[in-house]
Structure 1
Amino acid sequence: MISIYRPDETEFTRNGLGSLDKNIIDPLVMQDLNGIYAFKFKYPIFAPRAIYVKGEHIIKVMTPKGYQLFRIHKEEPVMGYRNVTAYHIFYDLSFNYIDDTNVVDKSGTAAGVQILGATNYLHSFEFVSDIATQATARIVGMNAAEAFLNDSKDNTFISRWGGEIDRDNFQIRMLNHIGEDRNVIIEYRKDLEGFDATIDWTTVVTRIKPIGFDGLELPEKFIDSPLISNYPYPKVREIEYKDIKAAIGDYADDEDALPLEDAYAELRRLVGLEYSQAEIDRPTATYDVQFVRLMNTNEYKKYAALQTIYIGDTVKVRHIKEDIDLTAKVISYEYDPIQKKYTKISLGSIKQTLSGSGYGNLQSQIDAIKQVEISNLEASIDRATGLLNTALGGYVLKRNGELLIMDTEDITTAVKIWRWNLNGLGYSGTGYAGPYRTAITNDGHFVADFIDVGVLNAELIKLGWNNINTQVGIDASGLWVENDNGEKTYMKKGGLSFINKYAEETGFLGMGYNTTDNTINGMLIGADYQKQMSFGRKATAESNAYAPFMRLEELYDLLKFFVPIELNNYLEMNSNTIWNVGEIYGGGKIRLTTNNSGTQGSIIFNASNQMLLLGSVAGVSMGILNGDGVTTTGRFEVRTGENISFQNLNMNGNTITNQSDIRLKKNPVTTELDAIAAIEKMRFIEFEWDKENPYNKTKPDGLQFGMEAQYAPCLQVMDQNSNYLSVDSGKQINLNTLAIQQLVARVKASETELATTKQELADLKEILTSKGVI
C-alpha cells in the first residue's frame, strides 16, 4: 500500500490521510548506490486525495527492503496529471545546516553521531557505522546530507571515512559494504532482449611491474597474473606503491623502512591483491537488466533470481563465450511498489586498483575476539528453556493481520498476551491494550526490562541507568566503582581518581595543567605525594598480583625498570644518568632492540679490558647531528662488509697500517701479475660527482681527479648495497709497489744490457784501430 501523510506526521504505523493505490500511475522507486533515492509517479488532478499530493507531504512506499518514507519535493501539472518527485526522508537533512564542527580522530560511528549532533535544529535521525577507521574532518557551512555524501568535497564523511550508505527511514547506516553475496549466478548472452552489457577490455592488466619508494624494483621486475594465458599477449602496467620503502642507502635508518627482503615480499603481496581482490586481470563490465523486455523472452526464468537481491548485493555473471566469470554489484535499480518487482537493475563489476589506496589501507582489519564468562548466560538459557518446555494451556487466536497467544479465550479478559503483526512482536502482562514492555519492532528496536546475552557487539550503546549492584554509585565527587576491599575508582570532572582502602587518594589519570598559568596542557598520569607509581602485569595467568616492570619509588626521585626498555623516539635525561645496578661491576649495558626478537644494538662497557663497545646488527653510524637532531654530517659508518667515511680522514701525523706478517699467511706464491701492463690499461679522468644520483648526495663538490674502476679489474670491489664499483686502495698501493719492483728489474736489465753493449763497442773500436780503419 502507498499511503500519504501530513508534512508534520510522526506516527506512520497507520494509513495517515489514506491510500493512493487505486489512482496512482507509473509509480517507480529509484535508488543509486551512495546516490539519489527517490520515488516518482503520476497522479490525476481530480482523483481522491489529490489535494494531499503536494509539496512537503510524506508518502510511505514499499521498496525492495520494506516500507520507506519519502517527502514530496516537486510537482508539475501536465495534461490533467501531476508529475510528482519525492525524495527519501533522509534528504530532510539537506535543509538542516551545520555551521562548524571539527571531527578529530574518530571512528565512523563517533564521526556520524557528531555530525548529526551539530545540526542547527533537532531531528529524529539516528546513526550507526561499522567503519573502524579513525579520521579527521572539519565541516563548515554545509547541510547534513551533504556532510555525509558529497564526494566532491574533501571534508565529508564519504571522502574521509568512505563506506556505503543504507538509508532505513530515520536510521542512517554507513557501512564498509552494504549488501551480501546471495550466491546468485546468471549467464550473459549477447543479443538477449532486455539484458544489455558493456564490457571494457582496455582496463585489463596481466603483468605488473611494481615500483616502491624511490624507484625500488623487484629482482624479477615483473609479476604475472594467473590468468595471463587467457589473453593473446601480456597486458603490462607499472604500478607505484610509494609507501613501500626499503632500508637501504640513505634510507637505512628510516623508521618506516623495511628490510630489503621484507620490502620485496610486500611488493609481491600487493601485486597479488591486485589480481585476487581488485581483479585487475579481468575486464570491467556494466549490465542493465530491463525486466519488462526480458519477460518476453524464453530465458526470463534464468534471471528471475535477480528479483531477490538488493542494492549493494553481489552476483556472479558468467560469460560462457569468453570463458570468464565477473563479480558484479547492484549499483542502481528501479522498482514498482505496486507489483513489488524490479523493472530495471544495473550491475557494475567490482574493480578498484589498490595502489592508490595507500599501504596502510591495504592491511586487513581483524575483528577482536573476547573471551567472556558464560555461567550467567547458561543459567538464563536454562531458565528460558524450562519456561517454554513447561508451558501449559494458552489460546491461539488468528485475526486479520495479526496472531495472538493469550491466557484466556476472550481478548477482552486476557491479561498475558503475545501479539505478532506486521509492525512487530510484543508481550503485555496487562491485557491487549498494553503496554508492551517486551517487544521487537519492524524499525529495528528491541524493548526489554532484562536482556541476557553472550556477546553484545555494538558500535553505539545508549544507556539510561544501570542498577548493577551496591558497588557502583554516584556521589558529590563523581561516579565511582568500589571493590570488596574498599578500594574505589572515581570518574569525575577532569579524569579518574584512585582511592586505597584507607580512603587515601593514591593517583590520578586525567588532564594535566601548566603550573604557571593553570591552562590545560595535555594528559597526566600521576601518583600522590610519597606514593609509589608502578606499571606492571600479572606474574601468572592465575595470579591477582602484578609484577612491576617500571616503578617510581615512594621516597626518592628514582625511576626503576625491571625489564628491557624499548624506545621509539628520543630519551631526554635532563642531566641525569642511566645506569645498571646489577651489571655495574661487570660492565654496564644499554641494549637497543626492535619489535623483532633478539638484541639489535648495544652500548657495552667491558670491565675486563676497560673498552666501550658500540654495535648493532645492521651497522653503526657516527657523526655530527644536524639541526633536526636525527641526521648527521661528516659521519663514519660501519656496515656489513665495509666501513664508509663521508669526509676526509686526517691522521694528524700518524699512519694507517695493515698487518702483513708472513707468519699470518698461508700458501704464499710469487704473483705473475704484470703490474705495469695493468697500470697502462687504467683510465684516469677529471670529473664532477653526479649529484642527481642519491648515492652521491654526501660526496664533495667541485672538480675531482681519479680513475675509472671499470678499467682496473684487479682493484674492483662491488658495493653490496648499491652494486656500484669501488677501488681497493690497499691493493692499489701493493699494485703500485709491484709495478715499481718490475720497473726496477727492467732498469737493471737495461743497465746490464747497456754495459755489455758499451764493452762490445770498445772492443770493436780497438779492432778497427788495429786494422787502420780508424
Structure 2
Amino acid sequence: MIRLFEKNATTFTSNGINVLNNLIKAISKEILNGLYSAEFEAIYDTTGKWKEIIEGRIIHADGQPFRIYKTRKGMTSLYVYTRHVFWDLVYNEVRDIRPTNKGAQAALEDVLGAANYLHPFTAFSDISTPATQYFINRNVTDCIMGNDSIISKWNGELKLDGWLISILSQRGLDSGVTISYRKNILDVEVTEDYDALVTRIRPKGKDGLELPEVYVDSPYVSSYVFPRIKEVEFDIGIDEETTEEEAITQLRAAAASYFIDSKCDLPVTNIKVDMLNLENTEEYRNFKYLVKVELGDTVTCRHLDLGIDHKSRIISIEKDLLLGRTSKVEIGDFKERMSGSITKISDTQKVLAQTVERNNSDLSAAILNATTLLTNALGGYVLKRNGEILIMDTDDPATAQKIWRWNINGLGYSSSGINGNFPIAITNDGRINASFVTTGELSANIVKTGILQSANGSSWINLADGTFSLGAGRVTNNDIRYTGTSIEQALNGKADMSTVEDINQYYKFDDVIGLTIGDNNSNLKINITNQQMNFKDGEATVAYINGQIMYIKSVQVLDSMVVGNHKVEKYDANITLVRWIG
C-alpha cells in the first residue's frame, strides 16, 4: 500500500492524507552507497487525489519514506519524483566538528548532533575501528557520504531505514544464488573489461629475489587466448631470520594469494538484468533467482564461455512497487558512487532555488561582474610552496577558508579550506567544473545535458525522458504545423473524430513495454521494443525477432518451405520430399 503524508510526518502507521490507489507507475531504485529514489505516475482521477501530491510531502512506499522534490504535469497524468528522506540532510549544515579517535557510530552521532537545526535521524554502525575526520561548513549528507566523509574514512556502506542511518562494514549476505551467463545473451546487458587482466605474474622480492620457476600462473590462465604477464613486487627477502629457501616459499605463496586477493585474473564484469523483459525468454531460468536478492548481496556468476566462477555483488536494485517485485538488478564490482549522488542533488537544489536567464544581457553582466571583482580586489595572501601556489584570505593554509590552489593537477577554488571541496576547477585531464557558466557562443562535438530550456521558461526539451513543450503547443517544420492544446482540438472540424478512437483501439504506447499493435478485443498482438519484436497470444510470447533472427516455439508448414538452395515440400499424405532447387 502506497500512502501520502504531510511534510512534517515522522511516523507512518496511519493512512495519512490518502492511499494512492490512482498510481499507474511506482518504481524505486537504490544504488549501493549511492542515491535511493522513487518515481511515480498518478492519473488525473475524478476524486482529485492527484492534486494532493505536491512538493515537500512524503510518499511512504515499500516500507520507506520518500520526499517529493519535483512534479511534472503530463496530458493525462502527474509525474512525481522523490528521494529517500535521508536527502533532507542536504539542506542542513555542519559548521565545525572533528570526531577524533572514534568508531563510525560515534562519528555519525557527532555529525548529526552538530547539524544547524533539529531533525529526527538516528545513527547506527557496526564499525568500531577508531579514526579521525574533520568537517567544516559542509552539508550533513556530504559529511556522511561525500568525499572525505564518514563512509570513505571508516570504509563503510550506507543503509537507510526510515529515520535510521546505518553505516555497516558490509551490506548484504552471500545469497547462495548462482547465475550462468554468456557475454552475448538476449535481454541481459553484460559489460566485460579485459584491459587490466593479469593471468601470469613474475613475483619479485627484495634485492632481486625471484622464483626458480620464474612465473606463477592463475588457475584461469588457460581460459584466455594467451597469458597476460605482469611483474609484481613483494616485501619478501633473505635476512638474518629468513633463509633463501624460506624466502622463496613465502614469495611463491604470496604470488598465489595475489590472484585471490586482487581478482586480477578475472575480467571486470557488470551485468544488468531486466527481470520483466527477461521472464518470457529461454534465458530467464538462469536468472530467476535474482528476484530474491537484496542490495549488497553476493552472488556467484558462472561465465559459460570462459568456464569461470567468480563472486560479484548486487550494486543496484530497481523495484516495481505496484507489483511488489524486483524489476531490474545490476551485478558488478562495487565502485563508490557517493559524490555523484550528492552532485545531482546539489544541481537540483540550484534549479529549484533560482531561474537564470542565459542570454546576451547575462553575458554582459557577467563580464562586468568579473571585471569589478578582479580590478577592485583588496587584501589576500599569496604563498608559493613546493609544487603549488596558494592565494588565500589569511596568511596560514591551516586557517584559510577562501582559497585558490594551483598545482600540476589543475587550478581550483574552495570556500571551505585547503582540502576543499573544490566546486570550481580546471584539471589536467581536460575537465572544467563550475556551478554556473555564462558564454556567448558554445562550439562542441557533444553536449550532454538533462533539460534544454528557453530564457523565459516557456519552451523546454527533457533529453532524459524525451518529453518536450514548445511555446503554446506549436510545432512547425515546413509541411507540419500544429497549434492547440490537444490532438482532439487540432482535429476538430478538420478530420473525423473517430480517427482518434481508432488509434486508441489498435495502438498502445508505454514507456516500459514499447508499442503494442492489435485490436483491444483480440488476444493476438504485436509488441515492438528497442530490442526486439514480439508476437503475443494473450500474455504468452509465441515468437520474437531479435538480431535479424526469428525465434518461434513451434512451426506448422502446410505445403512447402525453402531453406537456402533446398525445398521441403509435401508430396502426398504420407511422403515429404527434400530437393535441391539451385
TM-score normalized by structure 2?
Answer: 0.53
- Asked whether 1:92 is paired with 2:88, we answer yes
- Asked whether 1:203 is paired with 2:196, we answer yes
Separation of aligned partners in 2, 1:276 and 1:159? 24
Q: AA paired with 1:163?
A: G
CA contact (8 A) 1:55 1:72 kept: yes
- Asked whether 1:3 is paired with 2:3, we answer yes
Separation of aligned partners in 1, 2:208 and 2:101? 32
CA contact (8 A) 1:207 1:228 kept: yes
Displacement after TM superposition at 1:307 (Å): 0.6
- Give the structure 2 partner of residue 82 of structure 1: 78
- Give the structure 2 partner of residue 560 of structure 1: none
- Asked whether 1:298 is paired with 2:282, we answer yes
- Give the structure 2 partner of residue 146 of structure 1: 142
Change in CA separation of 1:264 and 1:69 when aligned onto 2, cut-off 3 Å: farther
- Give the structure 1 partner of residue 31 of structure 2: 32
CA contact (8 A) 2:99 2:107 kept: yes
Deviations 1:610-633 (A, max 9, x none): xxxxxxxxxxxxxxxxxxxxxxxx
Displacement after TM superposition at 1:205 (Å): 0.9
Displacement after TM superposition at 1:284 (Å): 1.8
Change in CA separation of 1:278 and 1:56 when aligned onto 2, cut-off 3 Å: same
Indicate the structure whose relative CO is greater, using CA pairs within 8 Å and at least 6 residues apart: 2
- Give the structure 1 partner of residue 315 of structure 2: 331
- Summarize the alignment of residues 512-531 of structure 1 with structure 2, pairs less than 5 Å apart: none
- Asked whether 1:137 is paired with 2:133, we answer yes
- Give the structure 2 partner of residue 228 of structure 1: 221
Query: Which has the larger Rg?
Result: 1
Unaligned 5+ runs, structure 2: 337-582
Deviations 1:345-395 (A, max 9, x none): 11114699xxxxxxxxxxxxxxxxxxxxxxxxxxxxxxxxxxxxxxxxxxx
- Summarize the alignment of residues 667-686 of structure 1 with structure 2, pairs less than 5 Å apart: none
- Give the structure 1 partner of residue 559 of structure 2: none
- Give the structure 1 partner of residue 574 of structure 2: none
- Give the structure 1 partner of residue 101 of structure 2: 105
SS in 2 for 1:106: coil
- Summarize the alignment of residues 652-663 of structure 1 with structure 2, pairs less than 5 Å apart: none
Change in CA separation of 1:120 and 1:268 when aligned onto 2, cut-off 3 Å: farther
Compare 276-285 and 189-198 and name the one that shifted more: 189-198
SS in 2 for 1:282: coil
Separation of aligned partners in 2, 1:108 and 1:141? 20
Deviations 1:491-524 (A, max 9, x none): xxxxxxxxxxxxxxxxxxxxxxxxxxxxxxxxxx
Displacement after TM superposition at 1:191 (Å): 4.6
Separation of aligned partners in 1, 2:249 and 2:114? 46
SS in 2 for 1:54: coil
Q: AA paired with 1:17?
A: I
SS in 2 for 1:137: coil
SS in 2 for 1:27: strand
Deviations 1:202-256 (A, max 9, x none): 332112234567x764455543323323334321123456xx37686xxx9xxxx
- Give the structure 1 partner of residue 342 of structure 2: none
Q: What percentage of residue pairs aligned between the two structures are identical?
A: 32
CA contact (8 A) 1:327 1:349 kept: no
Q: AA paired with 2:279?
A: M
- Give the structure 1 partner of residue 174 of structure 2: 181
Q: AA paired with 2:169?
A: N
- Give the structure 2 partner of residue 41 of structure 1: 40
Change in CA separation of 1:156 and 1:212 when aligned onto 2, cut-off 3 Å: farther
Separation of aligned partners in 2, 1:333 and 1:100? 36
Change in CA separation of 1:262 and 1:5 when aligned onto 2, cut-off 3 Å: farther
Change in CA separation of 1:300 and 1:143 when aligned onto 2, cut-off 3 Å: same
- Summarize the alignment of residues 728-743 of structure 1 with structure 2, pairs less than 5 Å apart: none
Separation of aligned partners in 2, 1:45 and 1:263? 75
Displacement after TM superposition at 1:80 (Å): 4.0
Displacement after TM superposition at 1:169 (Å): 1.1
Separation of aligned partners in 2, 1:71 and 1:285? 34
- Asked whether 1:289 is paired with 2:273, we answer yes
Separation of aligned partners in 1, 2:219 and 2:237? 27
SS in 2 for 1:132: coil
Separation of aligned partners in 2, 1:281 and 1:329? 18
Q: AA paired with 1:277?
A: D
Pick from 312, 323, 347 the counterpart of residue 296 of structure 2.
Answer: 312
- Asked whether 1:115 is paired with 2:108, we answer no
Displacement after TM superposition at 1:337 (Å): 0.7
Q: AA paired with 1:235?
A: R
Displacement after TM superposition at 1:110 (Å): 2.2
Change in CA separation of 1:270 and 1:7 when aligned onto 2, cut-off 3 Å: farther
Separation of aligned partners in 2, 1:180 and 1:318? 18
- Asked whether 1:60 is paired with 2:60, we answer yes
Separation of aligned partners in 2, 1:193 and 1:227? 26
Displacement after TM superposition at 1:170 (Å): 1.1
CA contact (8 A) 1:30 1:335 kept: yes
Q: AA paired with 2:293?
A: I
- Summarize the alignment of residues 454-533 of structure 1 with structure 2, pairs less than 5 Å apart: none
Separation of aligned partners in 1, 2:286 and 2:227? 35
Q: AA paired with 1:60?
A: H
CA contact (8 A) 2:22 2:49 kept: no
Separation of aligned partners in 1, 2:30 and 2:141? 16
Deviations 1:511-556 (A, max 9, x none): xxxxxxxxxxxxxxxxxxxxxxxxxxxxxxxxxxxxxxxxxxxxxx
SS in 2 for 1:105: coil
Separation of aligned partners in 2, 1:88 and 1:351? 21
Q: AA paired with 1:15?
A: N
Displacement after TM superposition at 1:333 (Å): 1.9
Q: AA paired with 2:36?
A: Y
- Give the structure 2 partner of residue 273 of structure 1: 257
- Asked whether 1:345 is paired with 2:341, we answer no
CA contact (8 A) 1:290 1:343 kept: yes
SS in 2 for 1:9: coil
Change in CA separation of 1:32 and 1:264 when aligned onto 2, cut-off 3 Å: farther
Q: Report the number of matched residues.
A: 334
Pick from 131, 137, 155 the counterpart of residue 162 of structure 1.
Answer: 155
CA contact (8 A) 1:194 1:292 kept: no
Change in CA separation of 1:118 and 1:350 when aligned onto 2, cut-off 3 Å: closer
